[in-house]
């Protein structure tokens, strides 16, 4: 077991310049929390990002703007980017919000109507929200007006997963049923009856043709969902159940994050590859593969985030102090970097391209805020986004 060496830099300009140049499944959605916060200073003038962030230029990244929800500030607890990375939709305590990421303009803000998840359609013309009773509302993504609705699930467990390439929405139920919809066509495609109780996690494979489900009874199932066929059923250790599921980028592995371990399965062989010991609540916040499939990363209430070699199941490194209550992590689209945040703690950038068995070079990323709840990249790699627990969203990138 190796603990990484951390190179804490005084500023972003020193962060990775010396490091060399080379670039899910949500659990039940957290409920929004309203917070009393000081008045924010005026946001900087919005600047459009000009190029993707890479290891070569990350030292030149700076704040390009701040997105401030109107009204009483509260946490943006769920968000989605449009597939072309030009729009951002979010949910806070009161509102459904949409912003233009080219101009920083607030496109609309309307009452949330108890929505707990939001997704963009593949062509970004529609937004889909699901409320805590499984009702799906369909919005015009430019006007913010309701176009249609459907009852997605009658026993909704507040668990969903969305494939924005094919506009496929899977909803998990307290009754063990998983319903798959084609949202753009407003069509219910299949209902799957899982084994072992209420649904606790869901994941589509990268090609959208397979669906993984987990239940409170400790079952993990791999489905050919279009044909309603369970390809494999795995039983976790007694008393365990998966809270997160993740497919590798090539779809060849399925990781199931449990209370104290991660079970990694081969999807072609439908066999267990290995179990990874994480410690108690080691996957509550993070379970994800790197874009190139080399690494599997997990984090939660354990003290350190863990990075695993997916080929061998060996522990590559621990990311010190990236653990505890409410952590977040995201890979850059090219897979060379990873950003992490811990609520009331540091935001750090990690040079994954230079990861070895001994170290992962890193440095603290000073964005001028210390209550970052979520971090994310746009799919085109142009923007890094930091979601403050008090409401604002900071955007960083490369200025003209």
Does 51 reside within a domain? Answer: yes
Domain assignment present for 98: no
Query: pLDDT class for 340, splitting at 50, 70, 90?
Result: very high
Question: Six-digit token pair at 280?
Answer: 């108690």
pLDDT exceeds 80 at position 217: yes
Q: Using the predicted structure, report yes or no on whether residue 28 has a pLDDT greater than 60.
A: no
Checking if the pLDDT of 230 tops 60, the result is yes
In a domain, 340, yes or no: yes
The verdict on residue 64 lying in a domain is: yes
* Residue 378 belongs to some domain of the structure: yes
What is the span of the domain harbouring residue 316?
1-23+45-73+290-400
pLDDT of residue 260: 96
22: pLDDT strictly greater than 80: no
Averaged pLDDT, 333-348: 95
Q: Is residue 306 part of a domain?
A: yes
225: which residues sit within 8 A by CB, 6+ positions away?
Answer: 170, 180, 190, 192, 209, 210, 211
**Total structural domains within the chain:** 1
Q: What is the pLDDT of residues 276-323, one digit of tens each?
A: 999 999 999 999 999 999 999 999 999 999 999 999 999 999 999 999
Residue 12 lies in a domain: yes
In a domain, 65, yes or no: yes
Q: For 236-292, what is each residue's pLDDT tens digit? A: 999 999 999 999 999 999 999 999 999 999 999 999 999 999 999 999 999 999 999
What per-residue confidence (pLDDT) applies to 358?
67
Name the pLDDT band for 29 (thresholds 50, 70, 90): low
């Amino acid at each position: 077991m190796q603990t990484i060496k951390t190179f804490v830099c005084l500023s972003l300009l020193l962060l990775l310049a010396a490091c060399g140049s080379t670039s899910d499944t949500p659990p039940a959605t957290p409920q929004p929390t309203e917070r009393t916060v000081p008045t924010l200073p005026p946001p900087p003038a919005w600047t459009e990002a000009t190029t993707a962030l890479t290891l070569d230029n990350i030292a030149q990244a700076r704040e390009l703007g701040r997105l401030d929800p109107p009204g009483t500030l509260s946490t943006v607890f769920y968000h989605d980017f449009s597939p072309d990375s030009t729009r951002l939709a979010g949910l806070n305590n009161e509102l459904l919000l949409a912003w233009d990421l080219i101009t920083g303009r607030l496109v609309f803000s309307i009452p949330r109507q108890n929505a707990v998840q939001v997704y963009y359609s593949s062509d970004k013309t529609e937004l889909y929200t699901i409320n805590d009773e499984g009702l799906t509302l369909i919005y015009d993504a430019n006007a913010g007006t309701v176009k249609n609705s459907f009852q997605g699930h009658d026993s909704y467990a507040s668990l969903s997963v969305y494939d924005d390439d094919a506009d496929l929405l899977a909803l998990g139920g307290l009754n063990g049923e998983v319903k798959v919809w084609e949202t753009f066509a407003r069509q219910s495609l299949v209902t799957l009856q899982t084994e072992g109780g209420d649904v606790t996690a869901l994941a589509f494979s990268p090609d959208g043709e397979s669906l993984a489900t987990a239940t409170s009874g400790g079952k993990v199932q791999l489905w050919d969902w279009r044909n309603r066929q369970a390809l494999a059923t795995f039983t976790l250790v007694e008393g365990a159940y998966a809270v997160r599921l993740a497919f590798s980028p090539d779809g060849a592995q399925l990781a199931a994050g449990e209370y104290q371990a991660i079970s990694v399965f081969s999807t072609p062989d439908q066999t267990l590859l290995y179990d990874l010991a994480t410690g108690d609540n080691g996957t509550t916040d993070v379970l994800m593969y790197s874009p190139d499939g080399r690494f599997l990363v997990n984090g939660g209430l354990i003290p350190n985030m863990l990075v695993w070699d997916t080929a061998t199941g060996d522990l590559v490194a621990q990311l010190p102090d990236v653990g505890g209550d409410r952590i977040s992590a995201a890979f850059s689209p090219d897979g060379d970097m990873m950003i992490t945040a811990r609520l009331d703690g540091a935001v750090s950038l990690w040079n994954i391209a230079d990861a070895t068995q001994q170290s992962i070079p890193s440095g603290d990323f000073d964005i001028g805020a210390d209550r970052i709840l979520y971090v994310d990249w746009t799919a085109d790699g142009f923007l890094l986004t930091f979601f403050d627990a008090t409401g604002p969203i900071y955007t960083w990138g490369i200025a003209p």
